[in-house]
């Protein structure tokens, strides 16, 4: 048995290869279980910070990067049981030794795995703060948390990239950053639109002309702010469609924050027939005015006035303020007013004016031509 275990195979003994395979098999069999256990331990250590976030969500966030890192540790431990001859080289990579190639690859993957784990932790803490924002109904936090989460993730990704170049590939990071600074002008010109939108996003967060959940009017777009990102802002239109607007547009154009106003104005005309008597007109005006004055969702000071006597109708102007910033709720108030007006017109036997149209038959047209 000892003779078999000490037999050389590919520059390693059979016993070394058995240890190599054993570590890989056992490690990968228990990799998932260990990752779940570690996730639960970390969750309990951060119990105060994890309030409101279920354990299952935390485990799902950390399990994949932890499994990845555990797999790297298992491979690293297994590879320590065998050796690679110095003459084994990878010719396409400048005749790099196989051992050096494996070491650099594992080091790079370790950096990737740790970065992945940190990013998942950042997403977890962002989720915690979003949960707290939901409890306090704070729209500002709902807007700030995703924004700063994405910024931190981008910074960590850049730091990880330069760490990989410096410690794994032994590059002069300082010289590289200096070179990037020299070529930054060309890069800035190429990414001008992206940079403009990025700076515009900082303007939106510092000045805060709106927050997530506000209703805004931008040109022909009227809708609710759903998310403010690096480059663009998502607006849910009143018809249900999603509009993506570059942040630069939001800071360079006039914007109406509808949510900041406490009322919505409604103005329309009641167009009555010319045959309507003055008594009927006065009665309609007085009764509509009474409806508006007594409506609990209409601000004080509604106006109902005989505005103009047109060519085809007598026009009564109706102006009132619905005491709500909500678009659809104000429409419901206007619907109640419209129904009340129709009941008043029906009760007083008053008819609405219709557009005047004249129909000519073919015979009439011929007679007209003959007259000329």
Secondary structure (H, E, C), 99-154: HHHHHHHHHHHHHHHHHHHHHHHHHHHHHHHHHHHHHHCCHHHHHHHHHHHHHHHH
3-state secondary structure of 305: strand
Asked if residue 152 and residue 284 are part of one domain, the reply reads no
Phi, psi at 97, each rounded to 5°: -65, 145
pTM score of the predicted model: 0.54
Residue 62 has which token pair? Answer: 């950390």
Q: What is the number of domains present in the chain?
A: 3
Structure tokens at 220: 């022909």
Same domain, 216 and 287: no
- Report CA 295 to chain centroid distance, whole Å: 39
**What CATH number is attached to the domain comprising 254?**
2.30.30.60
In a domain, 314, yes or no: yes
pLDDT for the residue numbered 201: 78
**Same-domain status, 241 and 183:** no
Distance CA 353, CA 241 (A): 36
Report the length, in residues, of the chain.
Answer: 372
Q: Note the pLDDT of residue 187.
A: 52
Task: Looking at the structure, tell me whether residues 337 and 248 fall in a common domain.
Answer: no
Same domain? For 129 and 228 the reply is no
Please tell me whether residues 51 and 181 are part of one structural domain.
yes
The first and second tokens of residue 133, run together, are 């924002």
Half-sphere exposure of 273 (CA within 13 A, CB side): 11
The angle at the Cα of 62, spanning 58 to 67, to the nearest 5 degrees, equals 145
Is 174 inside a domain boundary?
Answer: yes
Cα(110)–Cα(31) distance, integer angstroms: 16
Within a domain: 287: yes
- The whole-number pLDDT of residue 192 equals 63
Q: Give the pLDDT score at 143.
A: 67
Residues 58 and 94 grouped into a single domain = yes
Token pair of 194, please? 């992206």
Asked whether residue 80 falls in the same domain as residue 162, the answer is: yes
With respect to residue 200, please indicate whether it lies within any of the assigned structural domains. Answer: no
Tell me what pLDDT residue 365 has: 47
Max Cα–Cα distance, the chain, nearest Å: 129
Distance CA 47, CA 53 (A): 10
Give the chain's radius of gyration (CA, Å): 37
pLDDT at 357: 59
Structure confidence at residue 20 (pLDDT) = 82
Burial grade of 64 (CB within 10 A; 0-12, 13-18, 19 or more): middle
Q: Is residue 367 part of a domain?
A: no
Task: Give the pLDDT confidence score for residue 212 in this predicted structure.
Answer: 81
Q: How far is CA 224 from CA 8, 136, 205, 325, in A?
A: 72, 20, 17, 12
- Residue entry with tokens 């939001």: 250
Query: Among 63, 168, 65, which residue's Cα sits nearest to residue 115?
Result: 65
Query: Could you give phi then psi for residue 204, rounded to 5 degrees?
Result: -65, -35
Q: What is the pLDDT of residue 317?
A: 95
Per-residue confidence (pLDDT) for residue 371, from 0 to 100: 39
Q: Do 30 and 125 fall into the same domain? A: yes
The end-to-end CA distance of the chain, in Å, is 127
| Last residue of one domain, picked from the residues 190, 219, 246 | 190
- Residue 180 sits in the same domain as residue 213: no
Task: Give the domain range for residue 229.
Answer: 207-259
In a domain? residue 353: no
What one-character DSSP code corresponds to residue 226?
A: E
Separation in Å, CA 213 to CA 13, 38, 234, 325 = 67, 38, 11, 12
How buried is residue 228: exposed, middle or buried, by Cβ count under 10 Å (0-12/13-18/19+)? buried
**Together in a domain, 114 and 220:** no
Averages of pLDDT over runs of 10 residues in the chain (372 residues) are: 66 78 87 84 74 74 86 87 70 65 84 89 81 65 73 85 77 63 51 70 78 83 84 85 87 82 89 93 95 91 92 93 86 94 94 71 46 38
The verdict on residue 212 lying in a domain is: yes
Say whether both 97 and 173 belong to one domain. Answer: yes
């Amino acid at each position: 048995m000892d003779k078999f275990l000490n037999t050389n195979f590919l520059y390693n003994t059979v016993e070394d290869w058995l240890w190599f395979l054993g570590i890989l098999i056992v490690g990968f069999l228990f990799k998932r279980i260990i990752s779940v256990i570690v996730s639960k331990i970390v969750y309990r250590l951060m119990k105060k910070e994890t309030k409101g976030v279920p354990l299952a969500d935390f485990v799902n966030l950390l399990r994949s990067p932890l499994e990845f890192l555990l797999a790297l540790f298992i491979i690293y431990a297994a590879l320590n049981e065998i050796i690679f001859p110095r003459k084994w080289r990878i010719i396409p990579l400048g005749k790099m030794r196989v051992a050096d190639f494996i070491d650099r690859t594992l080091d790079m993957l370790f950096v990737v795995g740790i970065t992945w784990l940190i990013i998942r932790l950042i997403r977890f803490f962002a989720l915690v703060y979003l949960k707290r924002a939901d409890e306090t109904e704070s729209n500002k936090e709902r807007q700030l948390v995703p924004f700063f989460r994405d910024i931190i993730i981008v910074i960590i990704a850049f730091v990880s990239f330069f760490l990989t170049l410096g410690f794994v590939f032994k590059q002069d990071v300082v010289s590289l950053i200096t070179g990037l600074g020299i070529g930054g002008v060309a890069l800035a010109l190429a990414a001008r639109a992206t940079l403009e939108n990025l700076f515009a996003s900082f303007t939106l967060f510092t000045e805060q002309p709106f927050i997530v959940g506000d209703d805004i009017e931008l040109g022909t777009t009227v809708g609710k702010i759903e998310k403010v990102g690096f480059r663009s802002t998502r607006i849910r239109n009143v018809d249900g469609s999603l509009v993506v607007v570059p942040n630069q547009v939001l800071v360079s154009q006039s914007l109406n924050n509808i949510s900041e106003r406490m009322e919505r104005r409604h103005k329309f005309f009641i167009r009555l027939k010319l045959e309507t008597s003055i008594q009927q007109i006065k009665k309609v005006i007085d009764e509509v005015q009474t409806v508006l004055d007594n409506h609990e969702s209409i601000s004080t000071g509604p106006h109902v006035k005989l505005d103009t006597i047109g060519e085809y109708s007598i026009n009564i102007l109706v102006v009132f303020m619905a005491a709500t910033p909500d678009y659809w709720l104000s429409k419901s108030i206007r619907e109640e007013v419209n129904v009340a007006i129709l009941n008043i017109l029906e009760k007083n036997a008053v008819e609405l004016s219709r557009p005047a149209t004249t129909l000519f038959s073919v015979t009439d047209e011929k007679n007209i031509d003959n007259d000329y």
